[in-house]
Amino acid sequence: MTARIDLTRLVPLLLAVAAIVAIWFMPDLPTQTAELGMTPVEAYRAEVLDPAPPPPDPDDPLGGYGEIVVRVLEGPRVDEVVRAFVTMPSTDATPADFRPGDEVILTFTDDFDGTAFAAVSERWRLPLLAGLVMLFALVMVVVGGWHGTRALVALGLTVVLVVKILVPGILAGAAPVPLAVGLASVITVATITITEGVTRVSLAAVLGTVGGLLITALLAGLMAGAGAFSGLLAGDLAYLTLTSGETLDLSGVLLAAIILGAVGVLDDVTVAQAATVEQLAATSPARAGILWERAFRVGRAHIAATTNTLFMAYVGASLPAIVFLALVAEPVLLTLNREVLALEIVRTLVGSIGIILAMPLSTLIAALMFGTQRRTG
């Protein structure tokens, strides 16, 4: 019995690892996107040699202002030493903020006179991010044990599906909403079976999650249409066109974001409810209706905390915009009506409704599974 249970967990794990490798190394999807109307940019990792501004050029009052000397560390320009302007859009950095040996991102663009314009656009942060990822994985494995390891594999599969399928698929002209629902369903099935194994608990959780996803997608579509959200908050994507001449479906991207934002929380709720029903049935066998009633009371407490979690996640992602809008001298109701805030309200409420309805749905499915077995066995 023990070997069979282990096998139900091991097989999905091995299949997921194989899927991660296969998807990651598969050829990139052909995109149909045209240029954004921006100048092509060369970008390389570079090392700061001399952060001190060079002496001013008497023939050019602005010559040397804000420049540092860097050496290119990779690409066709490797070992090339250049003067570069510090033009970091994410900060107000100046040459005085750098030290010899600092690594940065160096970009080359065509200046108005056709010459190459070198600029320091960002600091090199990938080693820091890689270290943080390794720390996260270590904590997950040490604290979570075998369950945490399976969760890491599930997360890896989610990442490669988003990076290699979802984003390229949208840029290739695929409809964002069906693509998001399909991938979210795949992620749901994979995540739950990897972490929980192939069991009746997993089946109930998957069915409940997919049901909640469909409800979320339908409601998000209705609200996006009724609210006439433009999707212009996507920034430069608003100017992106496909080679067919069509513009990117920004409203579809918006709906896809709402769907994907809810799927992770849906998994948590449905698995917890299905597992609760299983434990209730194991300790006190009862009919499906009684199991549903008992587990439903537990679920009510769960969804209250989960809905608040979803709200705080969305607020945290949009906090800078919310703080900026709070400075606008206009009535509070008009501020709430602005698209940036109205969109977050829609995201939170639509996702919460899907989560709330997925709870009784998954509870009912699990109760029918375990209650029927106990009654007929």
Q: Residue ranges per domain, the chain?
A: 2-29+143-376, 42-124
Share of the chain above pLDDT 90, in %: 10
Q: Distance of alpha carbon 102 from its chain centroid, rounded?
A: 30
Higher pLDDT, 52 or 202: 202
Q: How far apart are CA 370 and CA 280, in angstroms?
A: 9
- Confidence tier at 244 by pLDDT (50, 70, 90): low
Please tell me the predicted confidence (pLDDT) of residue 63: 46
DSSP 49-87: EE-SPPPPBTTBTTTTTTEEEEEE-SSTTTT-EEEEEE-
Give the tokens for residue 210: 């997919």
Please tell me the predicted confidence (pLDDT) of residue 89: 64
pLDDT above 90 (res 309): no
pTM score of the predicted model:
0.71
Average pLDDT rounded to a whole number, residues 279-293: 85
Q: How far apart are CA 132 and CA 272, in angstroms?
A: 29
pLDDT above 70 (res 296): yes
What mean pLDDT value characterizes the chain? 78
Among the four given CATH numbers 3.30.360.10, 3.30.413.10, 2.40.50.140, 3.40.50.11740, the one describing domain 42-124: 2.40.50.140
Least confident of 18-32, 165-179, 268-282: 18-32
C-alpha distance from residue 186 to each of 21, 26, 345 (Å): 16, 18, 27
Q: What is the pLDDT of residues 150-163, one digit of tens each?
A: 888 888 888 888 88
Give the tokens for residue 350: 């639509």
Average pLDDT rounded to a whole number, residues 352-373: 85
* Most confident region among 16-20, 57-61, 155-159, 172-176 by mean pLDDT: 155-159
Higher pLDDT, 221 or 58: 221
Please tell me the predicted confidence (pLDDT) of residue 373: 47
Please tell me the predicted confidence (pLDDT) of residue 64: 46
pLDDT above 80 (res 213): yes
pLDDT above 80 (res 35): no
Contact 85, 62 (CB under 8 A): no
Least confident of 124-138, 179-193, 342-356, 362-376: 362-376
How many C-beta neighbours within 10 Å does residue 288 have?
Answer: 21
Please tell me the predicted confidence (pLDDT) of residue 62: 46
**Residue located via tokens 């029918």:** 368
Please tell me the predicted confidence (pLDDT) of residue 361: 92
Q: How far apart are CA 15 and CA 114, in angstroms?
A: 52
118: β partners: 108
User: In terms of residues, how long is the chain?
Assistant: 377
- Confidence tier at 31 by pLDDT (50, 70, 90): low
Q: How far apart are CA 255 and CA 219, in angstroms?
A: 10
Q: What is the pLDDT of residues 138-152, one digit of tens each?
A: 999 999 888 888 888
pLDDT above 70 (res 242): no
Higher pLDDT, 335 or 217: 217
Q: Buried (b) or exposed (e) across 48-58, using 16+ Cβ within 10 A? A: bebbebeeeee
Please tell me the predicted confidence (pLDDT) of residue 53: 59
pLDDT above 90 (res 306): no
Higher pLDDT, 184 or 240: 184
What are the DSSP E strand ranges found in 271-322?
Answer: none
Nearest to 176 by CA among 267, 247, 244: 247
- Provide Rg for the chain, Cα atoms: 26
Higher pLDDT, 87 or 4: 87
pLDDT above 80 (res 252): no
pLDDT above 80 (res 228): no
Average pLDDT rounded to a whole number, residues 329-336: 67
Name the CA dihedral angle for 21, 25, 31, 34, rounded to a multiple of 10 degrees: 120
Residues with Cβ within 8 Å of 40's Cβ and at least 6 positions away in sequence, in order, are: 109, 110
pLDDT above 90 (res 217): no
Contact 115, 82 (CB under 8 A): no
Contact 40, 70 (CB under 8 A): no
pLDDT above 80 (res 329): no
Least confident of 127-131, 133-137, 241-245: 241-245
Please tell me the predicted confidence (pLDDT) of residue 174: 79
Please tell me the predicted confidence (pLDDT) of residue 289: 85
